[in-house]
DNA sequence: CTGTAACGGGG
DNA sequence: GTGTACGTTACAG
């Protein structure tokens, strides 16, 4: 331990947190940056895992029986403490242990003891618990008092401090893999390139095939191992704070990990020198790098932008307006084999992937830095949370700080019961079917949070009987107003903070400051808007069906009222509305009426409820509730509920559907669209189609023998195997449905490579692919299956004779 | 109708 | 790691 160590006090910025085990005890590790931007590590040995038990009976007897079952002396302390649980003040038993795993070891035994009613807070991850209890947050400054040791700072005291977010170094990377069989086989197929792009301007491709004399961003190394080692070195040389990539949780990091095993080498880009920490959240893998928060931009984009496809090229096109070429995954290995110009093209493509991912990351990371700061968990974790989880971590922190016991997550039967409870959601006005022109969309987004605040909707204020005021219209129960509920209190605070930011935004002209204010208010808006969904989310700790139901009910009342005002007071036709939005016909000469309507509504609405103008559309096609398409004045098409972009649909179906939608929205000509469909049908019948447009792609997710059900891609995979092909799990099976006597579609699935143009089944493609895809749209204008087929049967009959 | 399996991104 | 997604679609039976 050494002699006397000087006590120091310093400011530090918190990037990441975890714990390590020393002498069977958990030690918190904080990954920090000092005020000069240098990384350092701090350790806190003074924090122990604990959980609570609700007791009935004599505390001393219960404590005695717990002591008796604790043979391995895991329990360090047993004490009775006063806590709040919803409205009650209760005495509970606090059980402190030495290590988080000790909680797992003792919690069930304790739960089953006589006199123990329930256990609580037994599943809160240790590092996350530390952040809550110390009231500190990642992506923010701390003041730490402790002793400086050689490798780290020993923490004695830690607390929140003030400061600006420092510049954080972001690395974006991408790997390319040799994949002659389509799916790369990690035991044989090497990583051929690692591309790096950083916020500090680094642009580099690491590879091991020497044909790059003219590309200065390429660094050629002897082999795959050297490429990975160089990747390691660069991460440490530049000491990046954040690592990002596209689909890195699911592909790049797992693949690197598998290659390390195959090559039998070590690899670390973590700040503590440890390897990658891969864990699976049931089909949703996650890669952790200690001390360097890792954000997978794919999962971030998916949560923030509604797109028809999240292929990187499409995302950067839609989100950044950058047109980027894609090398089809299947052909990638050919570029490597061909060498020369192809290889240089591959290197450029690979670097471009890392660069655009960096740009996407820089667009979204500020939002997640704010969310991390507000809810108080790491950037790594926050980027992987659903909005419900964000709300829950905020509530857990607030609840704990106020001396409350946190409610348990539902398990087994309780979850099933909740999931089975249904209630009426938002009000959806059936659309005026077909095509409409000049549509203004108004959005009601702050409706739900303000309903919760205004009506004080909370578990603790809910009153089922003897209601006199603040009654939920359709249900008769009410919410007490004498004191503010837990959730409305937090929500009011969030909304209040957001309003202050919005006010500052109005008064500020500095672009950089404005962007920062905007991101802050946006983070608060996302959180505030998630509370309603949270209360009705079956896995929520603070779930209450009656609360969610009440919010929905009151919101329906407000939106209907606004629709009535539009129609009765302003003679504006409302053609559609869903939950918090309304679609109104606003002809050119009525634009000022729409503005008056908006003013009037906002003047009348109580409190913070506000109707916003969302956008204006030239034309719209409305099919049914939640299924419509809009085209704006720039020709940009927005589609809701009609998408058919999955690879398990034949390309011909997707292409035809897209063409039909375009004709309807751009030309407003249903007959032209119907004619197009008839042409496609005839082409299919007469076999004037490309076989590749008929291929349906489905992934074989497990071995052939582990399938219980007969499925088309399974049968095709079997036939592929019988034909001598190697069939491995993960393979994408391309198949075509062929003619035959078997009535099961699956039994008529042939591997695409075995099918000739004369063999496919036209009826399947017409009835199961083309017609279902286009009928979704044609339904809206009253065109039927029969109408679309009109004139076609005769033609095919002629062909028959 | 219910139960099972697959979709997403990546190469 | 005091843990284990999600909402939706299609087909078989």
Q: Give the tens place of pLDDT for each residue, A739-772.
A: 988 878 888 999 988 899 999 999 889 988 888 8
Q: Which of A135, A192, A102 is nearest to A14 (CA)?
A: A135
Q: Whole-angstrom Cα distance, residue A283 to residue A673?
A: 41
Q: Whole-angstrom Cα distance, residue A19 to residue A32?
A: 14
Q: Whole-angstrom Cα distance, residue A18 to residue A2?
A: 26
Task: Please tell me which residue, A722 or A347, carries the higher pLDDT value.
Answer: A347
pLDDT band at residue A798 using 50, 70 and 90 as cut-offs: very low
- Strand C bases within 7 angstroms of protein beta carbons: 1-6, 9-13
Give strand letter and number of the nucleotide nearest A626 (CA to C1').
C8
pLDDT per residue as tens digits for the range A150-184: 899 999 999 999 998 899 999 999 999 999 988 89
pLDDT per residue as tens digits for the range A36-92: 999 999 999 999 999 999 999 899 999 999 999 999 999 999 999 999 999 899 999
Give strand letter and number of the nucleotide nearest A386 (CA to C1').
C5
A280 touches strand C (CB under 7 A): yes
Mean pLDDT for the stretch of residues A202-228: 94
Q: Residue A122 has what DSSP assignment?
A: -
Mean pLDDT for the stretch of residues A340-366: 96
Q: Does the pLDDT of residue A799 top 50, yes or no?
A: no
Give strand letter and number of the nucleotide nearest A286 (CA to C1').
C4
Please name the residue whose C-alpha is nearest to the C1' of nucleotide B4.
A709
Mean pLDDT for the stretch of residues A413-421: 84
Q: Residue A64 has what DSSP assignment?
A: H
Q: Which of residues 226-255 of A touch strand B (CB under 7 A)?
A: 246-247, 250-251
Task: Please tell me which residue, A295 or A322, carries the higher pLDDT value.
Answer: A295
Residue A78 β-bridge partners: A95
The pLDDT value recorded for residue A477 is 97
Coil, strand or helix: which one is A88? strand
The pLDDT value recorded for residue A646 is 59
- Joined together, the tokens standing for residue A563 give 């629709």
The pLDDT value recorded for residue A783 is 87
Does an H or E element contain A41, and which? strand A39-44
Q: Which of A307, A323, A320, A174 is nearest to A246 (CA)?
A: A174
Residues 6+ apart with CB under 8 A from A413: none
Please name the residue whose C-alpha is nearest to the C1' of nucleotide C4.
A281
The pLDDT value recorded for residue A428 is 84
Dihedral (C-alpha) A271, A354, A728, A739: value to the nearest 10 degrees?
Answer: 150
Please name the residue whose C-alpha is nearest to the C1' of nucleotide B11.
A329
Q: How confident is the prediction for chain A on average, in pLDDT?
A: 91
Q: Does the pLDDT of residue A645 top 70, yes or no?
A: no
The pLDDT value recorded for residue A523 is 96
Please name the residue whose C-alpha is nearest to the C1' of nucleotide B5.
A709
């Amino acid at each position: 331990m050494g002699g006397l160590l000087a006590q120091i006090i310093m400011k530090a910025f918190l990037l990441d947190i975890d714990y390590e085990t020393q002498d069977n005890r958990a030690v918190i590790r904080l990954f920090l940056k000092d005020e000069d931007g240098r990384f350092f590590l701090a350790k806190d040995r003074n924090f122990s895992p604990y959980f609570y038990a609700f007791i009935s009976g004599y505390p001393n007897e219960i404590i005695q029986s717990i002591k008796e079952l604790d043979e391995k002396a895991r329990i360090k302390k047993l004490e009775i403490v006063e806590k709040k649980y919803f409205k009650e003040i209760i005495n509970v038993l606090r059980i402190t242990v030495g290590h988080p795993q000790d909680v797992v070891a003792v919690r069930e035994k304790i739960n089953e003891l006589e006199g123990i009613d329930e256990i609580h807070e037994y599943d809160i991850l240790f590092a996350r618990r530390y952040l809550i209890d110390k009231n500190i947050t990642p992506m923010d400054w701390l003041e730490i008092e402790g002793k400086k040791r050689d490798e780290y700072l020993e923490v004695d005291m830690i607390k929140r401090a003030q400061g600006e977010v420092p510049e954080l170094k972001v690395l974006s990377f991408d790997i390319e893999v040799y994949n002659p069989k389509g799916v790369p086989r990690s035991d044989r197929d090497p990583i051929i390139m690692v591309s790096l792009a950083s916020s500090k301007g680094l642009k580099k491709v690491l590879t091991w095939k020497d044909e790059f004399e003219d590309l200065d961003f390429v660094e050629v190394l002897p082999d795959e191992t050297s490429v990975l080692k160089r990747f390691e070195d660069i991460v440490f040389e530049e000491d990046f704070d954040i690592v990002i990539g596209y689909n890195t949780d699911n592909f790049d990091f797992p693949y690197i990990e598998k290659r390390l095993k195959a090559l039998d080498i070590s690899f670390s880009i973590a700040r503590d020198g440890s390897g990658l920490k891969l864990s699976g959240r049931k089909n949703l893998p996650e890669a952790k790098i200690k001390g360097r928060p890792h954000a997978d931009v794919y999962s971030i984009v998916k949560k923030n932008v509604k797109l028809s496809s999240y292929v990187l090229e499409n995302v950067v096109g839609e989100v950044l307006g950058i047109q980027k070429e894609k090398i089809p995954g299947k052909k990638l290995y050919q570029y490597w084999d061909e060498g020369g110009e192809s290889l240089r093209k591959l290197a450029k493509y690979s670097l471009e992937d890392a660069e655009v991912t960096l740009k996407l990351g820089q667009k979204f990371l500020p939002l997640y830095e704010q969310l991390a700061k507000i809810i108080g968990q790491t950037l790594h974790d926050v980027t992987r949370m659903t909005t419900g989880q964000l709300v829950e971590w905020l509530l857990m922190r607030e609840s704990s700080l106020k001396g409350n016991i946190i409610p348990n997550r539902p398990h087994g039967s309780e979850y099933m019961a909740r999931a089975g409870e249904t209630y009426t959601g938002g009000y959806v006005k059936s659309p005026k079917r077909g095509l409409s022109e000049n549509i203004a969309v108004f959005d009601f987004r702050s409706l739900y949070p303000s309903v919760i605040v205004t009506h004080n909707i909370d578990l603790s204020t809910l009153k089922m009987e003897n209601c006199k005021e603040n009654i939920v219209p359709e249900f008769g129960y009410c919410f007490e107003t004498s004191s503010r509920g837990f959730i409305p209190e937090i929500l009011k605070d969030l909304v209040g903070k957001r309003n202050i930011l919005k006010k500052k935004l109005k008064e500020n002209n500095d672009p950089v400051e404005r962007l920062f204010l905007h991101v802050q208010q946006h983070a608060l808006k996302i959180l505030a808007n998630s509370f309603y969904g949270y209360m009705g989310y079956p896995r929520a700790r603070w779930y209450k069906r009656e609360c969610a139901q009440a919010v929905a009910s009151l919101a329906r009342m407000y939106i209907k009222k606004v629709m009535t005002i539009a129609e009765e007071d302003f003679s504006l036709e409302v053609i559609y509305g869903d939950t918090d939005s309304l679609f109104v016909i606003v002809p050119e000469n009525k634009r000022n009426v729409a503005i008056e309507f908006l003013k009037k509504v906002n003047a009348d609405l109580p409190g913070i409820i506000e109707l916003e103008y969302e956008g204006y559309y030239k034309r719209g096609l409305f099919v049914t509730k939640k299924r419509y398409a809009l085209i704006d004045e720039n020709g940009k098409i927005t589609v809701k509920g009609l998408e058919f972009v999955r690879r398990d649909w034949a390309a011909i179906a997707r292409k035809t559907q897209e063409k039909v939608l375009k004709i309807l929205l751009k030309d407003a000509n249903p007959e032209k669209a119907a004619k197009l469909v008839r042409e496609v049908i005839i082409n299919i019948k007469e076999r004037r189609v490309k076989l590749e447009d008929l291929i349906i792609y489905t992934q074989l997710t497990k071995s052939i023998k582990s399938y219980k059900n007969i499925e088309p891609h399974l049968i095709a995979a079997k036939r592929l195997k019988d034909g001598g092909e190697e069939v491995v799990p993960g393979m994408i099976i391309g198949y075509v449905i062929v003619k035959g006597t078997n009535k099961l579609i699956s039994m008529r699935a042939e591997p695409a490579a075995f099918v000739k143009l004369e063999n496919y089944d036209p009826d399947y493609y017409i009835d199961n692919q083309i017609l279902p895809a286009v009928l979704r749209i044609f339904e809206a204008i009253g065109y039927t299956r029969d109408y679309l087929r009109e004139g076609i049967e005769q033609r095919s009959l002629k062909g028959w004779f």
